[in-house]
Structure 1
Amino acid sequence: MSNKTVAQQVVDALIDLGVKHVFGVPSGGWVDYMEAMRTTDGIDFVLATHEGGAGFMADVYGRITGVPGVCFGTFGPGATNLATGVGSAYLDRSPMIALTDEMASDKRNRIVQMNIDHQALFAPITKKTTRLEADKVREIIFDAAQVALSDVPGPVHVGLPAGMSSQVTTVQDIAPYAIKSQPKADKELIKQMQTLFADAKKPVIALGMRAVTSGIQDQILKFAEKYKVPVVLNPMAKGMIPEDHPCYAGVLFHALSDVVGQTHQQADLVVSIGYDEIEFNYEDWIPNVPVVSIDIVATDLDTAEYTLACDVLGDIKFSVEQLVKADFAEKSWDLPAVAIRKADMFAQMTSQNGAFGPCAALDILREKLPDDGIMTCDVGAHIHLIGQKWPTPKPGLQIMTNGWSAMGFAIPSAITAKITNPDTSVCAVVGDGGFLMTAGELAVAVREKLKIVFVLFTDNDLALIRIKQEKKRNPIYGTPIRERGTIGGDNIFGVPVIKAFEPAEFDAALEQAFAADGPVIVEAILNSREYDDLVLRKDKP
């Protein structure tokens, strides 16, 4: 047993969890925690420009490492800013420990500058919210990690009462808590699942984000191949099946999803695996056929209109193994027809007549980024194109937000991707609208000497909203970023900017950027009209 300050105990507990980086914007109350990190090997504080950016960084840290991402914001505005990134972890299902200052108990319910109820603020966007106690530091931090990592991952908020950090208390003699394992699904549900698949002639498999983290990729590929079953993906499951695989049918919800729908609308059974409705509601795409769901949480489906034939709740890998080891007859899908539709879909997402639009830009970028490189992307029209078009060799090589869908995500997420994968090529694709929201985080990339290529799609247009305005025959209003021109300047916060107005310039700019020793912005000046015929298509009639 030993005595240490509360701040040192928090840092020691984070190290025991495997945390190597903490992201945030400091306050006076955070100084003791920063000093503990400075004097402790194995953990670093990364100063963000804005607490929202710090939250995004911690979100992606949790996704990539499987260790809770940790972020910090101070009282009031620091906490409300941080909440944007915490919400991202909540709806994109990333393990996180979000730390904030809180008033000491004698001031918590008083009228005090910057004082709001942080417990109430974070309750709707976390799995749990609590506050630190001086004699229970390791217990509270380890409990936060266990909650963040167990079941459906997500954030836990821990308030740090002012004045507690320098208190010296006895260190609890406890280790990190085990992550709760999932029980196996009921045998009767397994039999029912097998029977439904056996009886189906044209089942379709739908993969979601929890399929990615369940270690079932090889089993699913072999299973789909054996029975010739088409596979569709939710966007955050990209990489689970190669785009050139004969069973790959496309991504739901994103560009040309009506073409993907030509396949899944023929199905007589939907088998969803690790499917999280936060990305795309079932009702918006499934045909009116029975649904078999293999997951760890109950399926959210309007059963007044649709049939939830079997909700196989339990360890996903175990349930999939029970499906795979059973013996079925080959299904009656016409996979050559699926291949023709897929080829037509990808053909529609190629550059037309040598024009320099987002399709050409993505094709050129894909050629320059190594196969094992990581691309992060922002929210906007381009995410719909990337979700469908971008070849993703394996999960985790394309990082997006789809559950939370906050603009401003790409730049902070690329910073974390590079910090956690220093020897891997990393790029971010961001529209000019999202770029303006978190451009300040470029200063982090400069300070940390991160070799990242930030690809800026400049079209001076909030294209998704503009397209929706035009579909309603409304005038274009409130969506132009600026009248015309580029983002401005040849250097932003110390990051050089290379501009490209046509494909050859873009190709050369990327070559130069990927060879540079630090962060570079490649600004592609594009015409957003290319999106108009590709995005916001209905997944079913």
Structure 2
Amino acid sequence: MSATNVAEKLVQTLKEMGVRHVFGVPSGGWVDYMEAMRKVDGIDFILATHEGGASFMADVTARLTGVPGVCFGTFGPGATNLTTGVGGALLDRSPMIAFSDEMPTAMRGRVTQMGIDHQALFAPVTKKTTRLEADRVTEILHDAALVALDGRPGPVHVGLPVGMSAEPAGDGKPVSWAPSRPAKADKEALARMTALFKSSAKPVVAVGLGAVQAGVQAEVIALIEKFNVPVVLTPMAKGMVPETHPSYAGILFHALSDVVGQTHQQADLVVAIGYDPVEFNLEGWIPDVPVVNIDIVPVDLDTSKYTLGADVTGDIAASVDFLIEQGGSAKAWDLTDVAERKAEIFRRMSPQSDVFGPTAALDVLRDELPEDGIMTCDVGAHTHLIGQKWPTPKPGLQIMTNGWSAMGFGIPAAIAAKLARPNTEVCAVLGDGGFLMTVGELAVAVRENLKIVFVVLTDNDLALIRIKQQKKQNPIYGTPIRAKGNIGGDNLFGVPVKTAVSAEEFRAHLKDAFAGDGPVIVEALVSSHEYDSLVLHKDKP
């Protein structure tokens, strides 16, 4: 045992792993850990206004750094609040270590204030839940990081028994936290994949979140270019193939997905690369043709209704390279037709009238945000437009939640993005409903002096639910956010608010905001009815 205490050993270990920010709302039990962070250069505690915001921040930090994001919540309500973003990390596939206070041994199972079983609480929303031990601090943290990063990434919960922080700390046994590269796929599976691909006339490639995490953008582009095939993406795979690429056919599940479907419904084979059904189940869009699944985990497919042609489980890059080498000749697709459908999608998502709507606001924002800038977005009708409409040059420049899909994600996501990439322009796009859920996190942007442009599309309407009500011919009830007006005031939590009622005014405010040196809210007063004809289309007949 060393003279280092548990709090110091934990912070030292996190720093050595590359963690630079720990997000949370402190408790008395967390004081020693904060003191350890105060004394160590290169790792800082970021006070959030709500534990849910802290866990969203940890999620996005992990996406941009490749190092597990770290967050903390105290007993009971602190822990339950934290689970919102921990669940997001599970279903959006982000590596995370989520700490919480835990009762000391003598009080576990007793009736006491704020006392619930945190191990049971976190079990359904994590890959693993465990508890820190004083003589195994480094071992437990390295194991947590390994589990978080290995396979499909996700969160690990580590309980911190109160009172342990000041105890002498030990490392435990050595554990490497670097995940191993997946083994190559089975030769028989590779052979079945190749035979199916060679015999198909019009295969379609579907790229998902797993392909982003595997870093196979170059391999995917080489595949579609060699064989002249169209490609569709899930929303969180945006940027894997640029919208300008001749093979790009669109985004599944989001706006005007029925037009995207006019391409993939012609396919006689689906080649799914890193396709994670957490965003959209394959059965929701594939035609009745065989599926080739290239991923690190076996396919999730209803094989009583659909044909699994080959489950190519293993190193994604190696499997795609094998298909490129062995896949035969170019296919029969006419990519001119694909381009015409893509053009129709973008035409229909362009402003159609003099009314200032969300499509015009997004066009102006795309003009003003540098090409390498990061845009985060919240959940709502605007997300469906962004998924289909927002030009994204490469992965990581548009950040959304589409596995967990929690409203309130956009503001903390932007804060985390700016902390992770301080020299990159960052903006967030939010509906007024999602904005209200985590508006308090603006105080973090002010305290940390983060230059972020928060774009609020104010329409006083939970548009997706209102549209669904109208499709059922139900009265509009429970979806208006307010009768009229805007978010109120010229300043929120120290962030100036600029309100626009036209595209020209919106552009002027954005120019000023991006030229500034701190956080700014630019509110666009828009009509939600532009969404009605664009969202909630079926991906297949």
User: Do the two structures share a fold, i.e. TM-score over 0.5?
Assistant: yes
Q: Secondary structure at the match of 2:485?
A: coil
1:64 aligns with 2:58: no
Partner residue in 1 for 2:198: 198
Partner residue in 2 for 1:514: 514
Give me the whole-angstrom Cα distance separating, in 1, the residues matched to 2:296 and 2:467: 37
Partner residue in 2 for 1:347: 347
Give me the whole-angstrom Cα distance separating, in 1, the residues matched to 2:254 and 2:169: 53
1:472, distance to aligned residue in structure 2 (A): 0.1
Give me the whole-angstrom Cα distance separating, in 1, the residues matched to 2:3 and 2:284: 57
Partner residue in 2 for 1:499: 499
Q: Give the aligned length.
A: 541
Give me the whole-angstrom Cα distance separating, in 1, the residues matched to 2:238 and 2:425: 19
Equivalent residues of 1:146, 1:180 under 8 A apart: no
1:36 aligns with 2:36: yes
Partner residue in 1 for 2:381: 381
Give me the whole-angstrom Cα distance separating, in 1, the residues matched to 2:246 and 2:451: 36
Equivalent residues of 2:143, 2:175 under 8 A apart: no
Between the two proteins, what is the percent identity of the paired residues? 69
1:177, distance to aligned residue in structure 2 (A): 2.9
Equivalent residues of 1:23, 1:47 under 8 A apart: yes
Give me the whole-angstrom Cα distance separating, in 2, the residues matched to 1:412 and 1:12: 26
Give me the whole-angstrom Cα distance separating, in 2, the residues matched to 1:171 and 1:209: 35
1:177 aligns with 2:177: yes
Give me the whole-angstrom Cα distance separating, in 1, the residues matched to 2:215 and 2:78: 37
Equivalent residues of 1:4, 1:171 under 8 A apart: no
1:49, distance to aligned residue in structure 2 (A): 0.4
Partner residue in 2 for 1:338: 338
Deviation track 1:159-197 (CA, whole Å, cap 9, x = no partner) reads 000100011134447464331321110111111111110
After TM superposition, the score normalised by the length of structure 1 is: 0.99
Partner residue in 2 for 1:20: 20
1:325, distance to aligned residue in structure 2 (A): 1.5
Deviation track 1:254-274 (CA, whole Å, cap 9, x = no partner) reads 000000000000000000000
Partner residue in 2 for 1:460: 460
Partner residue in 1 for 2:148: 148
User: What RMSD over aligned residues (CA atoms) do the two structures have, in Å?
Assistant: 0.9
Partner residue in 2 for 1:114: 114
1:152, distance to aligned residue in structure 2 (A): 0.6
Equivalent residues of 1:274, 1:296 under 8 A apart: yes
Equivalent residues of 2:293, 2:312 under 8 A apart: yes
Give me the whole-angstrom Cα distance separating, in 1, the residues matched to 2:446 and 2:232: 39
Deviation track 1:53-100 (CA, whole Å, cap 9, x = no partner) reads 000000011111110000000000000000000000000000000000
Give me the whole-angstrom Cα distance separating, in 2, the residues matched to 1:374 and 1:272: 27
Give me the whole-angstrom Cα distance separating, in 2, the residues matched to 1:322 and 1:329: 14
Instruction: Trace 1:134-533 onto structure 2 (pairs within 5 A).
Output: 134-172=134-172, 174=174, 176-533=176-533
Equivalent residues of 2:435, 2:456 under 8 A apart: yes
Give me the whole-angstrom Cα distance separating, in 2, the residues matched to 1:184 and 1:25: 43
Deviation track 1:347-376 (CA, whole Å, cap 9, x = no partner) reads 000001232100000000000000000000
Equivalent residues of 2:93, 2:153 under 8 A apart: yes
Q: Secondary structure at the match of 1:177?
A: coil
After TM superposition, the score normalised by the length of structure 2 is: 0.99
Q: In the alignment, residue 390 of structure 1 is paired with which amino acid?
A: W
Equivalent residues of 1:71, 1:97 under 8 A apart: yes
Q: In the alignment, residue 182 of structure 1 is paired with which amino acid?
A: P
1:107, distance to aligned residue in structure 2 (A): 0.3
Residues 227/169 of structure 1: CA separation in 2 closer, same or farther (3 Å cut): closer
Q: In the alignment, residue 477 of structure 1 is paired with which amino acid?
A: Y
Equivalent residues of 2:194, 2:327 under 8 A apart: no
Equivalent residues of 1:3, 1:170 under 8 A apart: no
1:244, distance to aligned residue in structure 2 (A): 1.1
Moved more, 321-330 or 21-30: 321-330
Give me the whole-angstrom Cα distance separating, in 2, the residues matched to 1:367 and 1:479: 32
Structure 1 consecutive aligned stretches of length 4 or more whose deviation exceeds 4 Å: none
Residues 219/169 of structure 1: CA separation in 2 closer, same or farther (3 Å cut): closer
Equivalent residues of 2:131, 2:158 under 8 A apart: yes
Q: Secondary structure at the match of 1:136?
A: helix
Q: Which runs of 5+ in 1 are unaligned?
A: none
Equivalent residues of 1:380, 1:463 under 8 A apart: yes
Give me the whole-angstrom Cα distance separating, in 1, the residues matched to 2:91 and 2:106: 34
Residues 155/170 of structure 1: CA separation in 2 closer, same or farther (3 Å cut): closer
Q: In the alignment, residue 448 of structure 1 is paired with which amino acid?
A: E
Give me the whole-angstrom Cα distance separating, in 2, the residues matched to 1:220 and 1:504: 39
Equivalent residues of 2:136, 2:170 under 8 A apart: no
Q: Secondary structure at the match of 2:195?
A: helix
Residues 295/401 of structure 1: CA separation in 2 closer, same or farther (3 Å cut): same
Give me the whole-angstrom Cα distance separating, in 2, the residues matched to 1:51 and 1:425: 26
Deviation track 1:373-414 (CA, whole Å, cap 9, x = no partner) reads 000000000000000000000000000000000000000000
Q: In the alignment, residue 341 of structure 2 is paired with which amino acid?
A: R
Equivalent residues of 2:223, 2:320 under 8 A apart: no
Equivalent residues of 1:3, 1:171 under 8 A apart: no
Q: In the alignment, residue 320 of structure 2 is paired with which amino acid?
A: V
Q: Secondary structure at the match of 2:4?
A: strand
Equivalent residues of 1:197, 1:269 under 8 A apart: yes
Q: Secondary structure at the match of 1:213?
A: helix
Give me the whole-angstrom Cα distance separating, in 1, the residues matched to 2:219 and 2:157: 36
Give me the whole-angstrom Cα distance separating, in 2, the residues matched to 1:178 and 1:327: 33
Equivalent residues of 1:450, 1:519 under 8 A apart: yes
Q: In the alignment, residue 88 of structure 2 is paired with which amino acid?
A: S
Deviation track 1:16-74 (CA, whole Å, cap 9, x = no partner) reads 11101000000000000000000011100000000000000000111111100000000
Q: Secondary structure at the match of 1:455?
A: strand
1:151, distance to aligned residue in structure 2 (A): 0.6
Give me the whole-angstrom Cα distance separating, in 2, the residues matched to 1:283 and 1:173: 45
Give me the whole-angstrom Cα distance separating, in 1, the residues matched to 2:54 and 2:330: 50
Give me the whole-angstrom Cα distance separating, in 1, the residues matched to 2:63 and 2:286: 28
Equivalent residues of 1:2, 1:171 under 8 A apart: no
Residues 170/226 of structure 1: CA separation in 2 closer, same or farther (3 Å cut): closer
Residues 61/349 of structure 1: CA separation in 2 closer, same or farther (3 Å cut): same
Q: In the alignment, residue 192 of structure 2 is paired with which amino acid?
A: Q
Partner residue in 2 for 1:95: 95
Q: In the alignment, residue 392 of structure 2 is paired with which amino acid?
A: T
Residues 3/170 of structure 1: CA separation in 2 closer, same or farther (3 Å cut): farther
Residues 487/110 of structure 1: CA separation in 2 closer, same or farther (3 Å cut): same
